[in-house]
C-alpha cells in the first residue's frame, strides 16, 4: 500500500504520533543532521553526540503524544529542546557543565569581530572552535547564545552562580573571537 | 533590539550555525528503526515460526494420539493361548470330555480369592495433557509496516522546504528527559536476549507420560508373558481329564473345554499409562550445547483377564524401574522468556522390583496362584523437542514432546514398551538454572 507523504510539519507530527514508520523516517532524515549538530555543539565529542542523537530520537518518537503543534517551527523547536536537555543531562552527570578550565593566554578583552569575519569562516570550522571550548564555557555559551537563556536561568540549570555563568560566557567569547580573528588573519596571508 | 542582538559575535555565530547540520553516521536510521520496531519477517520465512509450528504439530499429534487412539487401540502382540490352537492340536478329544469340568481336585490356594477376583476394573483411563506451544509469532507492529511511496522524493523535497521555518512562535512543553542515554542503556530495555554470564548448570524435576493401550476384544486365552500361559498342550497329563486334576491344570482344561463347542474365552488386557518421574542435571558446554543426565523412576503396570464359561484367568504385573538417561541438547533459541532445544540420547533402566502374578479361578471355587519376580533391564533411545518458558532468569517450566524407542529386554514380559516399541511421550517439568 502506498502511503501519501506528509507534506507539512503538522501532518508529519500527526503521523509520527500514530507511529507511522514512514513518517518517522522522513522526520529523521529532515532533522537528524541538525539535531546531531546541536548535540555536537554541547558535548564536543562525536561519538557521544551520536549516542545522544539516537537516544534523543527514541525519546522523540515515544513522546509524540506530549507534543502539541503550535505553528511553523514548533516541531523542530520541540525536538531541539529534547536534544539540548539530553545533552545537558549528560554534561551534568559527567560534571562537565560547571567546569571552568583556565586557558593560558586568555585575552583581557574580546577582539572585535565583524559579521564578515564570522560569515567568512566555514560552519565546520566554527563548530570546531565551539567544540574545543572547555565544557563549562561551551555549555554556558550554548545556552546563552542558542537557547537565549539568561545568566539567572543558566545558573539554575547548571547549579552555578550567575557570576560564574557570566564569567564563563565572557571567557568563551574571548576565546572564540581570538580564534576567529586568527583564522581570518591566517587566511589573508 | 535585545542585548544579544547587539553582540555581533554571538549573534553572528548563532545565525551562522542556526541550521547547521552534521553528516549522519552510516546506518543510524536503520539502528534506530530496529529498536523502534523490530523488522517484521513473513511467518513462512521465520525459522522461529517453523520451530513453533513443529512443536505445535508434535504436541497436537501427541495429544490427539493420546486422547483418541491410545486407549482403545487394538493390541496384537500378546502371546496367545488361543483355544483355536488347542482345537487344532486336540482333534481326537474323547467323547464325554465336558464331564471333566466338574471333576473334583486339590485346590492350591496361595492368596485369598477376593484379592484376585476383582468385581470390577477401572474402566477408563483418564489422560490429560496440558501443552502450551509457543508459537512465538512475530509481533507485527502495524505502525512499522514498510510503506512504499510513489513520488516520495518530490514530496520529501516539498516538505523539506516547508520545514525550514524559524523557531519563532514555538512553544514547547518538554518535561525532564530520561537520564543520559548511551546505546547500552536503550539496549537493556529492548534486547530480548538473556543477559549476563552464561549459566552452566541446570537442575530439573519432571513428570513423563505416554498413552495407555487397552484391548477388550481378544478371543481365547492370552498371556502377558511369553510361554507363561500355562496352556501348553505338552503340560497336560496323559491321563487328562481325570477327577484329580490340580487347579493349575484346570486352566489348561478350560482352554480345551472351550475348544469343543463352548463359548470361547474372551480376553481383555490393558497396559496402563506408564508413570515416570525424576530429576535431571544439565551442563551447558556452550550457549548452544549441553549434556543432560539424571535419575528417573518409572512404573509399568498391566492387567489381563480371560473369562471363559468355566473360570477366570487373571494376570497382573507391576514393574518398577530406576533409570539413567543421557541426552545431548542443542539449544537453538534462548531468549529471556523462551528457550527451545532439541534433545537426543539414550536411557538405561533397571527394574528394581517386578511382580508378575497369575491367578486362575475355576468355576467350582478352586483357584491357583502363580507368583514370579521379573527384573528386566531396558535400553531405549530418546529424542524430543523442548520448550521452556522462563518465568525468571533462573526458573522455567518446560514441556518436552518426544519419541522413544524401547529395545526388547528379553524378559518375555509384554509391556506397553513391547507392544509399542516406538512411542510418543510428553514430559513436563520445572528447571532451575544457576
CA quadruple B392, B394, B396, B401: dihedral positive or negative?
Answer: positive
B34 domain-assigned:
no
Measured between alpha carbons, how far apart are the two ends of chain B, in Å? Answer: 69
Helix, strand, coil % in chain A, rounded to nearest 5: 70, 0, 30
B228 domain-assigned:
yes
Q: Which three cell numbers stand for residue B395?
A: 526458573
Q: Which of A3, A56, A74 has its CB closest to that of B170?
A: A74
- CB environment A67-90: b (16+ within 10 A), e (fewer): bebbebbbbbbbbbbbbbbbbbbb
CA distance B427 to B400: 5
B195 domain-assigned:
no
CA distance B388 to B206: 12
B223 domain-assigned:
yes
Q: Do B8 and A32 touch (CB under 8 A)?
A: no
| CA-based radius of gyration for chain B | 37
Domain that holds residue B77: 52-97+104-116+201-433
Grouping H, G, I as helix, E, B as strand and the rest as coil, residue B216 is strand
Pick the residue from chain B with its C-alpha nearest to A150. B4
B421 domain-assigned:
yes
Along the 434 residues of chain B, how does pLDDT read in single tens digits?
A: 455 555 888 989 998 898 899 999 888 888 888 888 765 555 556 666 666 666 665 665 555 555 444 444 444 444 544 433 333 333 343 343 333 333 333 333 333 333 333 333 333 333 333 333 333 333 334 345 444 333 344 444 444 444 443 333 333 333 333 433 444 444 433 334 454 555 678 887 777 766 677 776 666 666 676 654 444 333 333 333 334 445 556 666 655 555 455 566 777 888 888 888 888 999 988 888 999 999 999 998 888 887 776 677 788 888 999 999 999 999 988 888 889 999 999 999 998 988 888 777 766 666 677 788 888 888 999 999 999 998 888 888 999 989 999 998 887 788 888 888 888 888 888 898 87
Q: Are A1 and B147 in contact (CB under 8 A)?
A: yes
B18 domain-assigned:
no
Which of A34, A16, A32, A35 minimizes the C-alpha distance to B30? A32
* Domains contained in chain A, CATH given: 9-93 (1.10.1740.10), 115-188 (1.10.10.10)
B405 domain-assigned:
yes
CB pairs under 8 A between A and B: 216
Q: Which of A28, A66, A110 has its CB closest to that of B32?
A: A28
| Structural domains counted in chain B | 1
Q: Do B4 and A8 touch (CB under 8 A)?
A: no
CA distance B199 to B285: 10
Q: Do B162 and A29 touch (CB under 8 A)?
A: no
Amino acid at each position: 500500500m502506498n502511503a501519501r507523504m506528509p507534506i507539512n510539519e503538522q501532518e508529519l507530527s500527526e503521523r509520527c504520533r500514530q507511529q507511522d514508520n514512514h513518517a518517522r523516517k522522513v522526520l529523521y532524515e529532515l532533522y537528524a543532521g541538525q539535531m546531531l549538530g546541536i548535540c555536537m555543539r554541547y558535548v564536543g565529542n562525536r561519538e557521544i553526540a551520536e549516542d545522544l542523537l539516537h537516544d534523543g530520537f527514541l525519546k522523540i518518537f515515544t513522546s509524540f503524544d506530549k507534543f502539541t503543534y503550535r505553528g511553523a517551527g514548533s516541531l523542530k523547536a520541540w525536538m531541539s529542546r529534547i536534544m539540548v536537555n539530553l545533552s545537558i543531562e549528560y554534561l551534568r552527570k559527567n560534571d562537565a557543565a560547571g567546569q571552568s578550565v583556565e586557558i593560558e593566554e586568555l585575552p583581557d578583552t574580546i577582539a572585535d569581530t565583524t559579521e564578515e569575519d564570522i560569515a567568512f569562516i566555514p560552519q565546520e570550522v566554527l563548530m570546531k572552535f565551539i567544540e574545543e571550548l572547555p565544557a563549562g564555557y561551551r555549555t554556558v555559551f550554548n545556552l546563552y547564545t542558542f537557547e537565549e537563556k539568561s545568566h539567572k536561568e543558566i545558573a539554575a540549570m547548571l547549579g552555578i552562580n550567575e557570576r560564574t555563568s557570566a564569567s564563563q560566557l565572557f571567557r568563551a567569547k574571548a576565546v572564540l573571537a581570538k580564534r576567529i580573528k586568527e583564522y581570518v588573519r591566517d587566511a589573508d596571508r | 533590539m535585545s542585548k544579544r542582538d547587539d553582540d555581533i559575535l554571538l549573534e553572528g555565530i548563532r545565525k551562522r550555525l542556526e541550521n547547521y547540520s552534521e553528516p549522519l553516521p552510516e546506518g543510524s536510521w536503520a539502528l534506530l528503526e530496529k529498536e523502534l520496531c523490530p523488522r517484521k519477517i513473513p511467518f513462512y520465512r521465520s525459522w522461529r515460526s517453523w520451530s513453533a509450528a513443529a512443536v505445535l504439530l508434535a504436541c497436537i499429534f501427541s495429544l490427539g494420539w493420546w486422547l483418541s487412539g491410545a486407549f482403545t487401540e487394538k493390541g496384537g502382540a500378546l502371546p496367545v493361548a488361543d483355544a483355536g490352537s488347542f482345537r487344532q492340536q486336540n482333534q481326537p478329544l474323547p467323547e464325554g470330555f465336558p464331564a471333566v469340568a466338574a471333576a473334583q481336585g486339590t485346590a492350591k490356594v496361595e492368596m485369598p480369592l477376593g484379592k484376585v477376583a476383582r468385581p470390577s476394573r477401572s474402566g477408563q483411563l483418564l489422560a490429560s495433557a496440558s501443552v502450551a506451544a509457543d508459537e512465538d509469532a512475530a509481533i507485527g507492529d502495524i505502525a512499522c509496516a514498510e510503506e512504499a511511496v510513489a513520488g516520495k522524493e518530490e514530496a520529501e523535497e516539498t516538505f523539506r522546504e516547508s520545514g525550514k521555518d524559524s523557531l519563532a512562535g514555538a512553544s514547547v512543553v518538554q518535561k525532564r528527559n530520561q537520564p543520559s542515554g548511551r546505546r547500552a542503556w536503550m539496549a537493556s530495555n529492548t534486547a530480548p536476549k538473556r543477559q549476563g554470564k552464561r549459566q552452566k548448570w541446570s537442575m530439573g524435576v519432571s513428570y513423563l507420560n505416554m498413552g495407555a493401550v487397552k484391548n477388550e476384544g481378544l478371543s481365547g486365552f492370552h498371556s502377558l508373558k511369553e510361554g507363561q500361559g500355562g496352556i501348553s498342550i505338552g503340560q497336560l497329563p496323559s491321563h487328562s481329564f481325570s477327577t484329580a486334576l490340580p487347579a493349575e491344570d484346570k486352566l489348561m482344561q478350560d482352554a480345551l473345554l472351550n475348544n469343543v463347542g463352548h463359548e470361547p474365552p474372551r480376553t481383555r488386557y490393558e497396559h496402563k499409562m506408564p508413570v515416570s518421574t525424576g530429576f535431571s542435571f544439565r551442563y551447558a558446554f556452550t550457549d548452544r550445547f549441553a549434556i543432560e543426565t539424571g535419575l528417573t523412576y518409572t512404573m509399568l503396570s498391566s492387567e489381563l483377564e480371560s473369562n471363559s464359561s468355566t473360570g477366570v484367568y487373571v494376570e497382573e504385573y507391576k514393574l518398577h524401574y530406576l533409570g539413567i538417561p543421557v541426552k545431548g541438547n542443542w539449544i537453538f533459541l534462548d531468549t529471556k522468556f523462551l528457550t527451545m532445544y532439541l534433545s537426543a540420547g539414550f536411557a538405561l533402566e533397571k527394574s528394581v522390583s517386578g511382580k508378575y502374578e497369575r491367578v486362575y479361578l475355576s468355576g467350582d471355587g478352586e483357584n491357583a496362584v502363580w507368583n514370579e519376580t521379573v527384573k528386566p533391564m531396558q535400553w531405549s533411545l530418546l529424542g524430543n523437542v523442548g520448550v521452556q518458558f522462563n518465568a525468571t532468569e533462573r526458573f522455567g517450566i518446560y514441556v518436552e514432546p518426544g519419541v522413544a524407542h524401547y529395545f526388547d529386554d528379553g524378559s518375555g514380559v509384554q509391556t506397553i514398551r513391547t507392544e509399542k516399541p516406538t512411542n510418543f511421550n510428553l514430559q513436563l517439568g520445572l528447571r532451575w538454572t544457576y
